[in-house]
Structure 1
Amino acid sequence: MAVPRSMTTVTSTPFHHPSSSPHSFSTSILPKPSHFLHTITISTPPRNPKFSTSVSGIWDAITGGVSDSSRQALIAIRRGMILFRQGDVAGSVAEFDHAIQLDPRQKAYLWQRGLSLYYLDRFEEGAEQFRIDVAQNPNDTEESIWCFLCEAQLYGSAEARKRFLEVGRDPRPVMREAYNMFKYGGDPEKLVDMFSKGRESEYFYASLYAGLYYESQNEADKAKVHMVASCKSSYGLRSDDYMASLAKVHCMCRNWEL
């Protein structure tokens, strides 16, 4: 997950999470360390710019050893992401699980699956998914927060905070502040105020995580105010960011009108 989700496409040899197509491969670098996207040269629905891949794809790309099951797994992930954006959360999990059946290596990187599990109230599985993801990428701020969100629903905020996953320093100011707020406790209003005059993406993410923080504290009315604000922000309305879609899915799942 990244802030913002805009991308710069390159066509050089990938060095972290890429996978390959049988003909060529490219990666799209996000402004967050470790999340890379993959373009498949096949006939599928319109390209979704948020596409998870596994580090195992590096070897496949170098050797040309991409199996058909690996390709099908990547296609299933893409379908799952599209379904989530469309509000079919259960359908998205079915596709993500199918991808894991086809290529078990993918599970270690399927943060999208963790997000979907959260909205199905499958919090234990969601926490497990995020813990696996952070084990692969120990600098993943957002996954540590989402693990907390799942475990807060299971054990309460105090216990979830004791279990909070330590990660490296995030280069993004808004996520550093959000991380500290979730880890140590804090004031979501201050988070939003701090970034209200900043970049559109920062205001969106501050509002998004303020809403999620309030939800972890069982303050639904306050959560609604900030989640709706994130959806109605300039970034929330215009961006193709997967998290902008998530904010809308969140409101849909809570029956909050936008």
Structure 2
Amino acid sequence: MAVSRSITPAVSRAPTPFHHSSSSLSTFPKTHNPSHLFRTITISTTPNFPRDSRISTSVSGIWDAITGGAGSSREALIAIRRGMVLFRQGDVPGSVTEFDNAIKLDPRQKAYLWQRGLSLYYLDRFEEGAEQFRIDVAQNPNDTEESIWCFLCEAQLYGAIEARKRFLQVGRDPRPVMREAYNMFKDGGDPEKLVDTISKGRESEFFYASLYAGLYYESQNEADKAKVHLVASCKSPYGERSDDYMASLAKVHCLCRNWEL
């Protein structure tokens, strides 16, 4: 991803559509529409990581230099990276500890910590997770996946019908599979149709279709059907080989549900 939505030092996802892959990025990153200029620094420990392989810094760094806050910003970014590593290793509570520490070090980070929202979901802290995603979408009103994850949290709190009334409207995602997934969650739909439609597409498309089909079934309290698709996403070529944070998430999901892969 070459661009980020962040105007403060924050881990961000890459915004190049999956059909515009580059030599250094995986083929299925997200899209963001930034409103400020910044520079990016690649985290060398997580190459080919489409959703968050880059740390963005901005003109806020000038303010840090003036106020002496640059050290705290750097420490916050290190904490975020540690949290991401812990999540990928299956230590979800440890990841939240690191993400919360990052916010203490640099409160500006909270508006961009979608990774924290994902971890909160798996700790059944749904109200906090929904708040995190709503804050994130307020910063980036074109974030399809965070809108969906907010729905997933609120479906656990209020049920799918009420959560759909509260659904966050966002801009058009450039990825066809995510547009279909977004509409499915927003209006109701058939996860099987989503997967069937994408089954002959790219590996990344099949992974994301299976992932969100499984998550949709979970929001409807259909655990058996959710398991079929979440396990399929993990066992897909993209799920097995990709460094995508969401490929790690699919495995963490199965681990948290005690599903064998």
Q: Report SS of the residue matched to 1:214.
A: helix
Q: Does 1:187 align with 2:190?
A: yes
Partner of 2:6: 17
Partner of 2:26: none
Instruction: Name the TM-score, length of structure 1 as normaliser.
Output: 0.84
Q: Report SS of the residue matched to 1:91.
A: helix
CA deviation map 1:40-73 (0-9, x unaligned): 69xxxx346425756xx31144677261000000
The answer as to whether partners of 2:13 and 2:54 remain within 8 angstroms in 1 is no
Q: Matched residues in 2 for 1:203 and 1:78: separation?
A: 28
Q: Does 1:58 align with 2:55?
A: no
Equivalent residues, number: 235
Equivalent in 26, 31, 34 of residue 33 of structure 1: 31
Q: Matched residues in 2 for 1:19 and 1:156: separation?
A: 35
Q: Does 1:114 align with 2:103?
A: no
Partner of 2:149: 146
Unmatched segments (≥5 aa) in structure 2: 17-29, 34-38
Instruction: Name the TM-score, length of structure 2 as normaliser.
Output: 0.84
Q: Matched residues in 2 for 1:28 and 1:189: separation?
A: 28
Residues 84/37 of structure 1: CA separation in 2 closer, same or farther (3 Å cut): farther
Unmatched segments (≥5 aa) in structure 1: 1-6, 9-13, 21-26
Partner of 2:24: none
The answer as to whether partners of 2:84 and 2:115 remain within 8 angstroms in 1 is yes
Higher relative contact order (CA 8 A, sep 6+): 2
What are the equivalent positions in structure 2 for 1:55-204 lying under 5 Å apart? Answer: 57-61=57-61, 65=65, 67-204=70-207
The one-letter code matched in structure 1 to 2:6 is H
Q: Matched residues in 1 for 2:64 and 2:90: separation?
A: 36
Q: Matched residues in 2 for 1:16 and 1:115: separation?
A: 18
Equivalent in 223, 231, 250 of residue 247 of structure 1: 250
